[in-house]
A and B are shown apart, each in its own frame.
Chain A
């Protein structure tokens, strides 16, 4: 092989190897820019971190029992990430929710209701709705965390399979007694039949009346009287 041929072969070889070398260098650069850190959370779960700060996280793993989360992210985002995590990992308020299941009907006289708060609400309903009688069907209770996971509750009722889902709960305002509780999702199912699916809100210590017509026989309606107290 003459000298000219040897030079051509060396050039071809160099061209073939160069991109691979470049990629290796690129990988090294990227790995230098990444950081993996582990955090022990106080008030929120690894799922909350992943859900809220997903845009910064390249990889995530977590343990629910120790409430620990490990994240991989770019070094340049670390400061912002930790600042946001600090803001996120604060004590969440607990909201006590009472749910009275009431049947409203036009047929017969209602039963006497002992709970005076509920009676007051139903007296007001009597003035604005056309039902003749209200009967308490059951009362349920649930504690929900602000911004926590979805809350599921099978309501105490004579109606079969009444399932309530409350999700995306936020508290608006800072003044006790004047705060608004936002319910991102309030969903009531009777078995597979969806009776209510809505987004709504209620004042703390106030009452939310959620009614569904045609839920029973003879034009009966199902009424949920929901009361929420922030603890």
Chain B
């Protein structure tokens, strides 16, 4: 069903097409200038493939490096050097005037004790 607006549009279109008028030259130039300005201001549109190619080479190189690292890195990292464990402390001293030599072996528990009468 044709609406009233459609009918009007068709009428106007027929009327316009029936009239052969020359477009004024200044208008033509203005339209050209406007079209050129609009074209220049537009963001350059590149094909998707071009973007992909830009990132493909660095991505492939990075993947290669990762693969090499995985291959050449040993699975288990070498054990960290163990901290030296003290198993014994040997103390030696002499009471020369008493003709006594003392060697003392402190085992495992290295807590220092103080004389009860000193504290």
Contact = CB atoms under 8 A, between A and B. Distances in A.
Interface of A: 106, 120-121, 124-125, 128-130, 132, 195-196, 198, 200-203, 205-215, 219
Contact of A207 (B99, B106, B107): B99
B68 interface: no
Contacts, number: 66
Contact of A211 (B98, B104, B109): B104
A214 B116 contact: no
A213 B104 contact: yes
Nearest to B90: A198
Contact of B101 (A195, A200, A205): A200
11 contacts: A106-B113, A128-B102, A129-B104, A201-B101, A202-B101, A207-B99, A208-B103, A209-B103, A211-B103, A212-B105, A212-B107
> Which 8 pairs between the two chains have the least Cβ-Cβ distance?
A206-B99, A209-B102, A211-B104, A214-B107, A212-B105, A207-B100, A213-B106, A130-B115
A43 to B, nearest CB: 29
Contacts of B101: 200-203, 206-209
B101 to A, nearest CB: 5
Contact of A206 (B100, B108, B109, B113): B100
B40 interface: no
B95 interface: yes
A121 B98 CA distance: 8
B102 A213 contact: no
Nearest to A127: B95
A120 to B, nearest CB: 8
A210 B95 CA distance: 14
Contacts of A198: 90, 103, 105
Contacts of B107: 195, 212-215
A206 B102 CA distance: 11
Contacts of A196: 105
Interface string B41-79: 000000000000000000000000000000000000000
Nearest to B115: A130
A113 B102 CA distance: 20
A230 to B, nearest CB: 14
Nearest to B89: A213
A196 B89 CA distance: 11
